[in-house]
Amino acid sequence: MGKKVLVLGEMRDGALRNVSFEALAAGRTIANDGEVVGVLIGETVASQGQELIAYGADRVVVVEDEKLKHYSSDGFAQAFLAVVEAEGPEGIVFGHTALGKDLSPRIAGKLGSGLISDVTSLEGEGDDVVFVRPIYSGKAFEKKMVKEGIVFATIRPNNIAPLEKDASRSGKVITLSAEIKDLRTIIKDVVRKATEGVDLSEAKVVIAGGRGVKSEDGFKPLQELADVLGGAVGASRGACDAEYCDYSLQIGQTGKVVTPDLYIACGISGAIQHLAGMSNSKVIVAINKDPEANIFKVADYGIVGDLFEVIPLLTEEFKKLKV
């Protein structure tokens, strides 16, 4: 039997994040021949409704309020719960992003539903959907099914392929007037470090540096390689602790989880806490001077050598391929 599934369209800097389209694909699998309803929350977000429809939403519900200009769990929970009350969904999907991780337990708690978080794939369809998620820092996978109540899941970015965009799809974008009560936390301004280029958690190629990079300047060849490949630079906690780079680049158990198509680990030993954030990458290349380094155990391709010699060579070769 088909289900009605709400999928949150997550915005960043005025545009929908890619994970929203992946969440729509997951929503479609859960809904089967039911209805996928996109949800947009913010101050002025309705203009993104058609984009959600092009990626698989049957229609879109928008909640707009000046109190929702910046994300707050309080405000977004009020808005999303208003949509739940109006729509009575049987399924909900969020991205497993900082926002999704913060908001989903609050919504599940209010609804008294379960929550399957950090899903990396779905098997089957409709009532028979099996959710696959990593456990023990990615060393094993567990499979879960929901037998009763709302099917609520967050999906890890870069794991579930979005449906093909079809700009000719049509559907209604309706605005729900929801009362957003005074927020306990008022965000006056969001101050962010200016970052350029590709978002690390959604990047298809990640060039990560560890303590072996040796200095802030040591990250420059990694950035050059990332630029040539259209990727993002990441880091181990070793590199962050040594102040070679910002903690926003940290990948691992206490940093970001990434699943790019290509992960190049440069001067990273491969501690279990680092592997927790990258071992599900599709292809892993490790560059390390130490042939016994643990990172080689998870690498598809290993290069034993000095990263300062190997990376410029790779950059030059990739540049040639692009010409």
In the complex, the smallest distance separating the C-beta of residue 210 from ligand FAD, rounded to whole angstroms, is 2
Q: Is 25 annotated to bind ligand?
A: no
Contact 150, 111 (CB under 8 A): yes
Contact 197, 232 (CB under 8 A): yes
Q: Is 11 in the site for ligand FAD (CB under 6 A)?
A: no
- List all residues 6 or more positions away from 263 whose beta carbon is below 8 Å from its beta carbon: 205, 206, 208, 278, 281, 283, 284, 285
Q: Is 267 in the site for ligand FAD (CB under 6 A)?
A: yes
Contact 25, 162 (CB under 8 A): yes
In the complex, the smallest distance separating the C-beta of residue 255 from ligand FAD, rounded to whole angstroms, is 4
In the complex, the smallest distance separating the C-beta of residue 184 from ligand FAD, rounded to whole angstroms, is 31
Binding characters for ligand FAD, 298-317, by CB under 6 A (x = yes): --------xxx---------
User: Which two tokens mark 261?
Assistant: 């198509």
In the complex, the smallest distance separating the C-beta of residue 22 from ligand FAD, rounded to whole angstroms, is 23
Q: Is 29 in the site for ligand FAD (CB under 6 A)?
A: no
- Per-residue buried b or exposed e for 279-310, using 16+ beta carbons within 10 Å of the residue's own CB: bbbeebbbbbeeeebbbbebbeebbeeebeeb
CA triple 138-142-147, angle to 5 deg: 150
Is residue 139 helix, strand or coil? coil
- Kindly identify the residues of this chain, within the stretch 171-210, that bind ligand FAD according to CB under 6 A: 210
Binding site for ligand FAD (CB under 6 A): 210-212, 236-239, 250-255, 267-269, 271, 273-274, 277, 287-290, 293, 306-308
Annotated binding site: 211, 236-237, 250-254, 267-274, 288
Annotated binding site for FAD: 211, 236-237, 250-254, 267-274, 288
